[in-house]
């Protein structure tokens, strides 16, 4: 049994391929325009507590999916790499304030990527579930590092870091709308780059490594370089997401926000959303971020006052866990596959 089995989703292989792909692009643009217009109607709650974390979680999932869904290397170090991105970006902002914000985010991501390469070195020797376990070392070392050494947080009393003033070309981005648009733009750009990457030679190398590691090396695919490249790109994306988590979402953060639970959350997002699927990241992130909030609202509305609040909270927790297990059982290829099937059915109904 392999540690990670993936199925890419090829749901669109019918006759008028080009028309469909144009439709998808048009839809994506419309969706993006729609999302960009959200601040016109949504209140602070929707931006700060729902949409921003959802978008950042999607980005984190995308980062892990490149590594796990495409290159087949599972990792539970995502929280640690988010922390690297956040603390690196904070220090660059603090020490090199003249750099523009996008450059900053990218630099923070690159540092996280390099740390990712180091953490990925054991993958050259260790495989399968033991590799997953070994990435935990990176998770715990990184979390400890930022908590332990005051230098990373500029010796703040609480060893937490606070968002410096966020601005691009003089535009202040510290309002909820500004932070939302910054997040949205970053997610959109990284998604486009990621789609191109997985369709390039690099992406094909990764998939060869994922599908048959040993065979790939036999036919001359540079397995070691491919794996490390995957760790680099993945951690870079996750690092950027970590910086956004710290500054666009929370504002003030300490290393605990990037603990093992966060790594689990990201892993859930891609397994439930769909490994080896770009859209799966969004669906999975929505599941992990939006569903608990939804359960909480529904629970409060239906049972509020009638049931003891402690019981209600535990009930929600159990229900969320049960839903996770249920979807894992029902949809081996992730919710993205489910949606893709639904979409194909819908589209064919329209065509008739």
Partner 1 sequence: MSFFVETFIGGLLAGVMYSLVAIGFVLIYKASGVFNFAQGSMVLCAGLTFVTMRDRGIDFWLAGLITLTIMVAIAIAVERVVLRPLVNRPQITLFMATLGLSFVIEGIAQIAMGASVHELDLGIVDTPITVGEVQVSQFDLVAAATAGVLVIALSIFFNWTRVGIALRAIADDPLAARSIGIRLQTLWQIVWGVAGFVSLVAGLLWGARQGVQFALTLVVLKALPVLIIGGFTSITGAIVGGLIVGASDSLAEIYLGSLLGGSVSTWFSYVLAVGFLLVRPTGLFGDAPIERI
Partner 2 sequence: MSIRKQKRITSRAIGLAALVLSLAVGATASAEDAKTQYFPLATFRVGAYASSGIPVWAGEIDYFRYINEVEGGINGIKLVWDECETNWEVEKGIECYERVKAGKNGSPVPIFLPHGDPISKALTEKSVADKIPLVTIAYGRTEAIDGRVFPYSFPVVFSFWSEASSAVNFIAEKVGGKDKLKGLKIATVYHDSPYGKETQVPLAHLAKTYGFEDIQIPVPHPGNEQSAQWAKIRQLKPDWVFLRGWGVMTPVAIKTAAKVGFPVDHIIGGIWSGSEEDVRPAGAVGKGYLAITPFPAGANFEIHQKLKKHILDKGLSDLKDPKSFGSVYYNSGVDEAIVAVEAIRTAQAHFGVRPINGEEAQWGLEHLDLSEKRLAEIGATGLQQPLKLSAKDHEGGGAGKVLQWDGEKWNVVSNGWVKSDRELLLPLIYERAAAYARERGITPRDATN
Q: Which stretch binds partner 1 (CB under 8 A): 11-19, 22-30, 156-164, 318-326?
A: 318-326
Number of residues that bind partner 1 (CB under 8 A): 51
154 near partner 2, rule: CB under 8 A: yes
Structure tokens at 94: 């603090």
CB of 247 to partner 2, least distance (A): 11
| For partner 2, the closer CB: 49 or 324 | 49
Q: What residues pair up with 172 in beta bridges, in sequence order?
A: 167
Residue carrying the six token digits 């971020």:
289
Residue among 97, 100, 304, 332 that touches partner 2 (CB under 8 A)? 304
> Which of the listed partners (partner 1, partner 2, none) does 319 bind, with a CB threshold of 5 to 8 Å by partner kind?
partner 1
**Is 214:221 a contact under the CB 8 Å cutoff?**
no
> Which of the listed partners (partner 2, partner 1, none) does 264 bind, with a CB threshold of 5 to 8 Å by partner kind?
partner 1
CA 162 from chain centre, in angstroms, equals 22
195 near partner 1, rule: CB under 8 A: no
CB of 17 to partner 1, least distance (A): 30
- The C-alpha atoms of residue 43 and residue 283 are separated, in whole angstroms, by 23
29 near partner 2, rule: CB under 8 A: no
**Is 255:147 a contact under the CB 8 Å cutoff?**
yes
Q: What's phi and psi for 163, nearest 5 deg?
A: -60, 125
- The C-alpha atoms of residue 281 and residue 194 are separated, in whole angstroms, by 12
**Nearest alpha-carbon partner for 106 in 186, 52, 195:** 186
Q: Which residues of the shown chain bind partner 1 in the complex (CB under 8 A)? A: 1-6, 74, 122, 125-130, 132-134, 136-137, 140-141, 143-144, 147-149, 212, 214-215, 218, 260, 264, 267-268, 271, 310-311, 314-322, 324-325, 328-329, 332
């Amino acid at each position: 049994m392999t540690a990670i089995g993936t199925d890419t989703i090829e749901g669109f292989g019918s006759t008028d391929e080009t028309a469909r792909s144009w439709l998808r692009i048009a839809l994506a643009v419309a969706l993006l325009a729609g999302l960009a217009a959200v601040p016109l109607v949504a209140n602070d709650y929707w931006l700060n507590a729902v949409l921003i974390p959802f978008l950042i979680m999607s980005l984190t999932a995308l980062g892990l999916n490149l590594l796990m869904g495409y290159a087949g290397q599972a990792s539970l170090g995502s929280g640690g790499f988010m922390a690297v991105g956040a603390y690196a970006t904070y220090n660059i902002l603090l020490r090199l304030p003249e750099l523009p914000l996008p450059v900053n985010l990218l630099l923070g991501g690159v540092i996280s990527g390099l740390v990712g390469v180091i953490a990925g070195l054991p993958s050259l020797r260790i495989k399968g579930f033991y590799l997953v376990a070994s990435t935990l070392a990176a998770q715990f070392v990184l979390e400890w590092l930022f908590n332990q050494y005051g230098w990373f947080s500029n010796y703040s009393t609480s060893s937490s870091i606070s968002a410096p003033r966020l601005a691009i070309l003089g535009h202040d981005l510290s309002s909820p709308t500004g932070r939302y648009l910054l997040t949205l733009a970053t997610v959109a750009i990284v998604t486009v780059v990621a789609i191109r990457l997985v369709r390039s030679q690099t992406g094909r190398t990764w998939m060869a490594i994922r599908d048959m590691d040993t065979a790939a090396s036999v036919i001359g695919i540079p397995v070691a370089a491919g794996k490390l490249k995957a760790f680099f790109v993945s951690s870079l994306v996750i690092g950027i997401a970590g910086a956004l988590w710290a500054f666009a979402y929370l504002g003030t953060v300490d290393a605990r926000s990037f603990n093992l639970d966060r790594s689990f959350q990201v892993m859930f997002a891609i397994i439930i959303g769909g490994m080896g699927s770009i859209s799966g990241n969004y669906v999975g992130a929505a599941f992990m971020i939006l569903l608990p909030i939804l359960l909480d609202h529904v629970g409060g509305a239906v049972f509020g006052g009638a049931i003891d609040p402690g019981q209600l909270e535990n009930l929600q927790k159990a229900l969320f866990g049960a839903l996770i297990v249920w979807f894992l059982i029902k949809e081996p290829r992730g919710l993205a596959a489910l949606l893709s099937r639904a979409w194909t059915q819908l589209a064919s109904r329209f065509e008739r």
